[in-house]
Structure 1
Amino acid sequence: MLMPYLLMITFDMITDANRPIRWKKLTLLMILTIEIHLLSALLFMLVLILAWLYAVNHHRPLLQKGHSLHHIYVNCLDLTMTSERTLYSYVNQGLLSARNIDMPRTVRMRPRKNKKRNLKVDKACRIGRTWEEFQSYLQEHPNAAIRQLDSVEGVRGGKVLLTIHFVQQELQLAFLWDANDSQSVIDIFEKIYLELRPDAFIRLFPILLADNGSEFSNPKAIEFDKQGNQRTQMYYCDPSAPFQRVPAKTTMK
């Protein structure tokens, strides 16, 4: 671009004997040359920066580009070689460059609360103690004294009321306890057993009817004392059948 101007200055320097060196033209030529080189360097840097930005955007994780994890899993089965649930676990644990914050819906969702699950002590507790077997017992013993059990929990994880409903007498007892678990129920019956003595306990609590809550899932510890003597008989209502204990529920209300 500057070559014609340079040749013109060179020709003047050769042919003009009075002014062989033209300082102004040489100075202007040098300034233009430096500016052109600087502009070239800046242009090169700009091209490199644009190329770097394109490469970063092109090769960044698909999650950061707005793709959903389900979409990535479905379209990249040959590359993932793992389950969709495992991918979510990897993201949650920070094992990938993409994070939870790159998933808009995950950011908007509230974290789930881990609910405490009360597990049954004896999973076979209903065997021989079902509602049908309870009805068969009542047919053979129509005048049997029935005591219905229930637990009332106010605040989750707080204190609990164990209620014992005397059906024929329309009387209900309530015992306040610290936790809604099987051991608490066993401790209450042990205390009643010791206070009343065996004969009175057997006479007052011949038959117990409870729901399927985990707090009643250790019937043998309630039916038998520590010496192995049977002191009561326990039965269970059918699952999701609160109507089978209507008198107790009505009294509680």
Structure 2
Amino acid sequence: MTCNKYLHLTLAERQIIETGISHGSTKAAIAKTLGKDKSTISKEIKSHRLKSFSASYPIDCSLFPKCKDKKTPACSTQCPSYIKFSCKRRDRSPGACNGCEAYHRCHYDKYRYSASKANDEYRDSLVNTRIGVNATLSQIKQLGLLIKPLLAQGQSVYAILQSHPEIKLTEKTLYHYIEDDVFQNAGVPITCMDLKRQVRRKLSKKKAVQYSPRKDRSYLKGRTHKDFIEFMEMNPDASIVEMDTVYNDGSNGPFLQTFKFLNYDFLFCVYHQQKTSENMLEGILYLETILGEALFNEEVMVLKTDRGSEFVLADSVEIRKDGTRRTRLFYCDPMASWQKGSLENVHLLIREICPKQVDLYALGLDSQEKANLISSHINSYNKKKLNNKTSFSVLRFFNSEMANRFLSYGLTEIPHDQVTLKPHLLK
């Protein structure tokens, strides 16, 4: 397979670059995380960073703020004392101003790197290489015996290939082997029904559901999606956590309160037996206890959720009893789950373990320990959008303190071949 360091950057990789810049990581550190050459990261940032602020000073002299002659004609680049302003963070590494503590105080030219805007500028077409592979019957059988238990655990073909670089096949070729019964003919019973992506595509039948829009209530004032957009424009570096609930029986439970840390693509689930607004507040306080007040303030600056009745205690969520601000809570528009699409996507993985229309208690979801198990396996799953990384590895690289707190609390990193996204995980 082609070595990653020579591939073009994807949107997910650019998002990791943006997160790295915001955390003050060096270009070398970001390159190591992505498996890219340092020059690739340097060129990417330099080529796609955008000026977000033009200097308010007439000249870019580092002495200007304290210069006695700054209001005289002598103030120019020809001044003998002129020293061109330079900033290590902006001009060297990481190469942009995202996340800089002095951003709002700085009066010189400022540049920001945006993954989405950089990706929009990227117009080159990628060339997909097709690799043909010849194999003996024994080699095919050996490969089939390797991947069969991993498929049974709910792992995708892509995840298996990333965990086993010794398999010299492309994802497309391995799909063809399965679809053409190559493994079946070699004596290994692997069929299309073992493919999680194909099963989902063939069995999915969306039914029209009628919704009754909820009436706006007072708790929504200043917390709508429009308010969220305005807040983020003023605070572009604010860390966002999306929140929701997953359940099958709305009357009897159990319920999973889900949190998705967008900076790290990291999932945390809180177990509940009831789905009241008080329960959801307790879940947020529980998360704050795990992280500690200071880290919570830093990593949960914004909570974004839907307009479910369980999330109405906005004031209690935002403000602590001592009057200090805990976070800011915003709500999606009615019937607009795509406004927290990142969390909705990870819910698909949760549903691999907790299918709809089954008794989740009978399935084994009966404690916070089981909720931790779900979070651990999903966070240990190789994801294509993370450039073959796991959410655990991304979190550990960018925020080791936060990773250690979750690990100390009870989450664990699961070895690649033991990652299971099937209901029997909870037995």
TM-score (norm 1): 0.50
- 1:242 maps onto 2:310 in alignment: no
Using the TM superposition, give the Cα deviation of residue 242 of structure 1 relative to its aligned residue in structure 2, in angstroms. Answer: 1.0
Which ranges of structure 2 fall in alignment gaps of 5 or more residues?
1-213, 349-427
Displacement, 1:123?
3.0
C-alpha displacement of 1:193:
2.4
Paired AA for residue 323 in structure 2:
G
State the match for 1:88 in structure 2: none
Asked whether the 8 Å contact 1:153–1:180 carries over to 2, the reply is: no
Alignment of 1:87-166 (within 5 A): 123-157=217-251, 158-166=253-261
CA contact (8 A) 2:225 2:331 kept: yes
Post-superposition offset of 1:211? 0.3
Q: 1:250 to 1:203 in 2, by over 3 A?
A: same
Deviation sequence 1:140-186 (CA, Å, 0-9, x none): 12222110010011222211000001112111111111111100011
Structure 1 gaps, min length 5: 1-118
Give the letter aligned to residue 232 of structure 2.
Answer: L
Maintained 8 Å contact 1:144/1:207: yes
**What letter corresponds to residue 248 of structure 1 in structure 2?**
L
2:308 aligned with 1:213: yes
Number of aligned residues = 134
Question: What is the DSSP-based 3-state SS (H/G/I as helix, E as strand, rest coil) of the residue aligned with 2:292?
Answer: helix
Contact kept? 1:161, 1:176, Cα under 8 Å? yes
Structure with max Cα Rg: 1
Q: Indicate the RMSD between aligned Cα atoms, in angstroms.
A: 1.9
Task: Note if 1:201 corresponds to 2:201.
Answer: no
3-state SS of paired residue (1:215) = helix
> In the superposition, relative to structure 1, how do residues 168 and 193 fare at CA in structure 2: closer, same or farther (>3 Å)?
closer
Aligned counterpart for 2:285 among listed residues 180, 183, 190? 190
In structure 2, how many angstroms separate the alpha carbons of the residues matched to 1:156 and 1:170?
27
Q: Find the residue that maps to 2:236 and give its secondary structure.
A: coil
Helix, strand or coil at the partner of 1:192 = helix
What one-letter code is carried by the residue in structure 1 that aligns with 2:297?
I
Asked if 1 retains the 8 angstrom alpha-carbon contact of 2:240 and 2:299, the reply is no
TM-score (norm 2): 0.30
Paired position in structure 2 for 1:56: none
How far apart, in 1, do the equivalents of 2:248 and 2:279 lie?
16
Looking at structure 1, the residues matched to 290 and 250 of structure 2 have their Cα atoms a distance apart, in angstroms, of 30
| Structure 1 Cα separation of the partners of residues 263 and 291 of structure 2 | 20
Q: Which has the higher helix share?
A: 1
